[in-house]
C-alpha cells in the first residue's frame, strides 16, 4: 500500500512538473540558435498552442537534420495563407531568429491571423547553418550533399584549412610578380587593384586561407558539402555555378519545399528573410531572356502604334531605335523593356504593373523605419540571386514575393563641408522649380559629387525637369540606387563601412591583422582579412531590437492581400420568366488578384463564380472565371437566366486561395 502511495505521489509530481514545463512561456531572441534548438522551439510553440499550430517536417537534409515548417492557423479552412522562409543560404543566422520571432509575434496576438494562415520555415538549410556554430567558421552556404566539385575521383578532399588557428577562414595575400593588387595608401589592411595609368605595378595575389590538399594547384576548391539550397530553385537556375547542383531541386530541401508549396494553393503571398531586400527596393530588372533578339516580329497592335509592318522582322537594336523615335527625347529604352512589352521569351524581369506596388510599398517602408528612428543609411543589401526562392515565388507561383534583410553595416557618414554641393536628401525634398533655381554651377557640382554618369549634364537635367520627364525625387532615388563609383584616392564605400564597423562595434576584432605564415607551397604569405559573418550577423545583444523594429512591417504587408467578395446584385425582369442577373464582385484589398506576373503565367488558380439553382442560363455560363481584378476595384458579371418557379439562386465564389463563400438571390414573382 505504501509503495502504491509513493508511486501515485511520484506520478502526480511528474505530471505537475510536466504541466509547469509546458506552461512556461516560449522565449526567442537574445541569442543565435542551432537547428536542434530551433526544432525544440518549434515543438514548444506547437505544444503551447495545440489547436492553432501544426508542424510539417517536409524532409531531412543530406546531413540528417530535420527541415520543419510551422503552420499557424491549422484550425482555419478556406482562407489565404502567407509563407515565410528564412536563411536559405545558411549564412544569415539573424534571419532564422527573425522567422522564430515572427512566429512568436503571431501567436502572442491574434490580430494578424484572423482569417489568414501562416507557414513559417525558419531553417531550410540546416547543414550550412551549423557552420556559424562550428569550431572554424568560413561563412558556409552548402549542405552535406555528396558532390564532387572539382570533377576528379575524390570527394571533399580539398576544403578550407585554419592555418593560423584563430577559428576563422580568412584570406592569404601572397607577393607574386603576376599579382594585380597593391596595398591601399589609405589603409594598409586593404588591397586594391593596381592602376597602371598611375605607374602602379601589382604586387599581390589573394587566396582563401588553406593549403592544396590534393596537389592539383588549386586551393579549397572541393570542401565539405555540395549544394546551396538558396540558389537551387528553377527560375534562372545557375547551371554554371557548381554550388547550385546539377539541376533545380536536386537537393531534397528544395524539391520537398516546392512540393509543399504546390500542395498548398492557398499561399497568396511569400516572404523571404535573408540576404536580398525587396522591402527597401523593388526587384531589379536588366536580366536578358532566352528569346532570339535578331528576328523579332511585332504584334499588330504595337505595329500600328509604331507605324511599322507587322510582317517584317527586326533586330533588337532596330526596334530600340524605332521605339525611341516615338518616345520623348532623352527617355532611356532598354532591351528588357522591349522584351517585356512584346512578351519575348520567359519572363526574367519584374512586370511594370508589379513594380508600381513594389515601389509604393518600399517608399512606405522607408517612412515606417524613419518613424521608428531606425537609421537607413546602410550598405545596400546583396541583390537577389539567380535560382533564389524569392525569385521563384514571384515568377513561377505568380504571387507577391517580398524579401527582407534584417541587417547591413552602417555607412560611414561623410562630414559635410559648408561649401559642399547640395545632397541627395536635399534634392529629394525639392520641387522641380527649386532644383532648376539652383543654377548650372550647383547642379553640375551636385552631379559630380554623387558620381552621376557622364551623360548626365546640368543642362540636360534642367531640360528634363522643365519638361516634367523627371522629378527631383525620382532623380535622387535613381542616383541612390545606382552603383557608386569609387572616388579617386579613397577606399570603397564597403571597405570604409566594414572597417569602421569592425573598429567601433567589434573593438577591431572584425578584421584579422595580417600575419606572416610559411605556406608549404606558396612560401611566405600573410593571413588576415574580414572575419566570416561580419557583414550579416551582429552581436546577439542587437537581435531583439533589430527584429522588433523591422518585422512588424511583414505583418503590415499581409494586410495588403486581396479580399474578394460579392458586393451587390441586380436582377432585372425582361418578361416571360427571363431575367438579367448582374453581380458586382469587389476586391477591397490593396493588391490585385492575381498580380501582373500571375496573369502572365496563369498562376495562382482563378476565382470562379458559380450559379446554382433551378434556372436555365440563356447567356453566360454556370462557372464563370472572374479574371483579373485590381485592388479596391469592382467587377461586374452578367447572365441572362430563365425560370418559371421563382427559385432562390446561390451565387458562389470558389477559390483555392480564398475558399468558398455564397450569396442568396431570391427571384420574386
DSSP letters for 446-491: HHHHTT--TT--HHHHHHHHHHTS--HHHHHHHHHHSPPPPPTTS-
Per-residue model confidence (pLDDT) at position 331: 63
Per-residue model confidence (pLDDT) at position 6: 45
Task: Say if CB 587 and CB 632 are below 8 A apart.
Answer: yes
Question: How big is the chain, counted in residues?
Answer: 669
Per-residue model confidence (pLDDT) at position 264: 98
Per-residue model confidence (pLDDT) at position 310: 82
Which has more confidence, 19 or 245?
245
9 confidence band (pLDDT: 50, 70, 90): very low
pLDDT at position 386 over 90: yes
Q: Which of 109-123, 333-347, 494-508 has the lowest mean pLDDT?
A: 333-347
- Whole-number Å distance between alpha carbons of 571 and 554: 42
Residue 495: which residues within 8 A CB-CB, separation 6 or more?
187, 190
| E strands, 274-354, in order | 296-297, 313-314
Task: Kindly report the pTM of this predicted structure.
Answer: 0.82
Of 610, 583, 605, 609, the closest CA to residue 593 belongs to 605
Which strands form 181-183's sheet, in the order they lie side by side? 191-193, 181-183, 204-208, 171-175, 523-530, 511-519
Residue 17: which residues within 8 A CB-CB, separation 6 or more?
none
418 confidence band (pLDDT: 50, 70, 90): very low
Residues in a beta bridge with 69: 56
CATH of domain 564-666: 2.60.40.10
Per-residue model confidence (pLDDT) at position 212: 74
Task: Say if CB 99 and CB 554 are below 8 A apart.
Answer: no
pLDDT at position 268 over 50: yes
Per-residue model confidence (pLDDT) at position 8: 43
Mean pLDDT of all residues in 332-350: 73
Pairing of the two strands 313-314 and 608-612: unpaired
pLDDT digits (tens, 9 = 90+) for 346-372: 788 899 899 999 999 999 999 999 999
pLDDT at position 415 over 70: no
Q: Please classify residue 613 by burial: count the beta carbons closer than 10 Å to its beta carbon, then call 0-12 exposed, 13-18 middle and 19+ buried.
A: middle
Per-residue model confidence (pLDDT) at position 291: 60
Other CB atoms within a 10 A radius of the CB of residue 640 amount to: 15
pLDDT at position 214 over 60: no
Of 117, 107, 114, 97, the closest CA to residue 34 belongs to 97
Task: Say if CB 278 and CB 402 are below 8 A apart.
Answer: yes
The structural domains of the chain, with segments of one domain joined by +, span 30-147+225-285+348-408+536-560, 149-223+493-535, 292-324, 424-481, 564-666
Kindly report the average pLDDT of the chain as a whole number.
87
What number of CA atoms fall less than 13 Å from residue 35's CA on the CB side?
24
CATH T-level topology, domain 30-147+225-285+348-408+536-560: Aminopeptidase (3.40.630)
669 confidence band (pLDDT: 50, 70, 90): low
Give CA 2 to chain center in angstroms: 65
Per-residue model confidence (pLDDT) at position 591: 98
C-alpha cell at 560: 495588403
Per-residue model confidence (pLDDT) at position 221: 56
Provide the sign of the torsion angle of the four alpha carbons 303, 309, 314, 319, taken in this order.
Answer: negative
pLDDT at position 427 over 70: yes
pLDDT at position 337 over 80: no
Per-residue model confidence (pLDDT) at position 146: 84
Cell 579549397 appears where? 220
157 confidence band (pLDDT: 50, 70, 90): very low
Task: Say if CB 239 and CB 386 are below 8 A apart.
Answer: no
Amino acid at each position: 500500500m505504501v509503495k502504491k502511495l509513493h508511486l501515485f505521489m511520484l506520478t502526480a509530481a511528474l505530471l505537475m512538473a510536466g504541466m509547469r514545463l509546458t506552461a512556461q512561456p516560449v522565449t526567442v531572441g537574445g541569442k543565435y540558435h542551432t537547428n536542434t534548438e530551433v526544432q525544440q522551439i518549434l515543438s514548444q510553440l506547437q505544444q503551447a498552442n495545440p489547436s492553432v499550430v501544426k508542424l510539417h517536417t517536409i524532409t531531412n537534409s543530406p546531413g540528417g537534420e530535420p527541415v520543419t515548417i510551422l503552420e499557424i492557423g491549422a484550425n482555419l479552412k478556406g482562407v489565404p495563407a502567407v509563407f515565410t522562409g528564412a536563411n536559405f543560404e545558411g549564412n544569415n543566422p539573424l534571419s532564422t531568429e527573425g522567422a522564430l520571432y515572427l512566429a512568436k509575434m503571431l501567436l502572442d496576438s491574434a490580430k494578424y491571423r484572423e482569417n489568414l494562415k501562416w507557414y513559417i520555415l525558419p531553417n531550410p538549410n540546416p547543414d550550412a547553418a551549423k557552420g556559424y556554430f562550428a569550431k572554424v567558421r568560413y561563412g558556409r552556404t552548402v549542405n552535406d550533399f555528396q558532390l564532387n566539385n572539382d570533377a576528379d575521383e575524390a570527394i571533399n578532399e580539398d576544403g578550407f584549412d585554419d592555418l593560423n588557428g584563430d577559428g576563422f577562414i580568412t584570406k592569404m595575400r601572397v607577393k607574386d610578380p603576376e599579382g594585380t593588387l597593391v596595398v591601399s595608401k589609405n589603409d594598409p589592411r586593404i588591397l586594391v587593384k593596381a592602376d597602371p595609368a598611375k605607374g602602379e605595378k601589382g604586387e599581390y595575389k589573394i587566396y582563401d586561407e588553406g593549403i592544396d590538399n590534393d596537389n592539383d594547384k588549386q586551393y579549397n576548391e572541393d570542401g565539405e558539402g555540395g549544394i546551396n539550397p538558396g540558389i537551387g530553385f528553377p527560375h534562372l537556375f545557375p547551371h554554371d555555378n557548381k554550388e547550385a547542383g546539377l539541376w533545380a531541386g536536386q537537393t531534397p530541401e528544395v524539391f520537398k519545399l516546392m512540393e509543399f508549396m504546390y500542395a498548398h494553393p492557398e499561399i497568396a503571398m511569400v516572404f523571404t528573410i535573408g540576404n536580398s531586400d525587396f522591402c527597401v527596393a523593388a526587384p531589379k530588372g536588366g536580366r536578358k531572356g532566352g528569346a532570339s533578339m535578331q528576328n523579332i516580329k511585332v504584334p499588330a497592335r504595337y505595329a500600328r502604334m509604331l507605324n511599322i509592318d507587322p510582317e517584317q522582322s527586326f533586330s533588337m537594336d532596330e526596334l530600340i531605335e524605332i521605339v525611341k523615335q516615338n518616345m520623348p527625347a532623352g527617355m532611356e529604352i532598354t532591351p528588357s523593356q522591349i522584351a517585356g512589352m512584346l512578351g519575348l521569351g520567359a519572363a526574367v524581369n519584374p512586370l511594370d504593373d508589379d513594380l508600381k506596388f513594389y515601389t509604393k510599398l518600399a517608399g512606405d517602408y522607408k517612412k515606417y523605419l524613419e518613424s521608428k528612428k531606425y537609421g537607413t543609411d546602410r550598405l545596400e543589401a546583396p541583390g537577389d540571386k539567380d535560382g533564389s526562392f524569392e525569385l521563384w515565388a514571384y515568377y513561377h507561383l505568380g504571387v507577391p514575393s517580398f524579401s527582407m534583410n534584417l541587417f547591413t553595416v552602417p555607412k560611414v557618414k561623410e562630414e559635410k563641408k559648408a561649401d559642399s554641393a547640395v545632397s541627395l536628401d536635399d534634392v529629394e525634398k525639392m520641387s522641380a522649380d527649386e532644383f532648376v533655381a539652383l543654377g548650372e554651377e550647383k547642379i553640375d557640382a551636385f552631379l559630380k559629387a554623387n558620381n552621376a554618369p557622364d551623360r548626365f549634364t546640368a543642362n540636360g537635367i534642367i531640360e528634363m525637369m522643365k519638361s516634367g520627364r523627371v522629378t527631383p525625387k525620382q532623380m535622387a532615388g535613381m542616383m541612390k540606387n545606382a552603383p557608386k563609383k569609387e572616388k579617386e584616392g579613397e577606399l570603397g564605400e564597403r571597405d570604409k563601412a566594414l572597417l569602421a564597423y569592425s573598429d567601433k562595434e567589434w573593438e577591431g576584432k572584425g578584421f584579422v591583422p595580417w600575419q606572416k605564415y610559411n605556406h608549404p607551397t606558396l612560401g611566405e604569405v600573410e593571413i588576415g582579412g574580414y572575419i566570416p559573418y561580419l557583414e550579416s550577423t551582429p552581436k546577439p545583444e542587437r537581435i531583439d531590437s533589430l527584429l522588433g523594429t523591422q518585422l512588424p512591417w511583414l505583418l503590415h504587408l499581409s494586410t495588403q492581400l486581396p479580399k474578394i467578395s460579392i458586393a451587390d446584385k441586380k436582377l432585372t425582369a425582361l418578361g416571360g420568366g427571363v431575367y438579367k442577373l448582374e453581380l458586382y464582385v469587389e476586391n477591397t484589398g490593396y493588391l490585385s488578384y492575381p498580380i501582373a506576373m500571375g496573369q502572365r503565367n496563369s498562376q495562382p488558380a482563378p476565382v470562379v463564380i458559380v450559379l446554382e439553382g433551378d434556372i436555365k442560363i440563356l447567356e453566360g455560363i454556370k462557372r464563370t472565371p472572374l479574371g483579373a481584378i485590381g485592388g479596391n476595384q469592382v467587377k461586374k458579371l452578367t447572365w441572362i437566366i430563365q425560370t418559371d418557379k421563382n427559385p432562390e439562386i446561390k451565387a458562389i465564389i470558389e477559390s483555392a486561395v480564398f475558399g468558398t463563400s455564397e450569396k442568396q438571390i431570391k427571384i420574386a414573382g
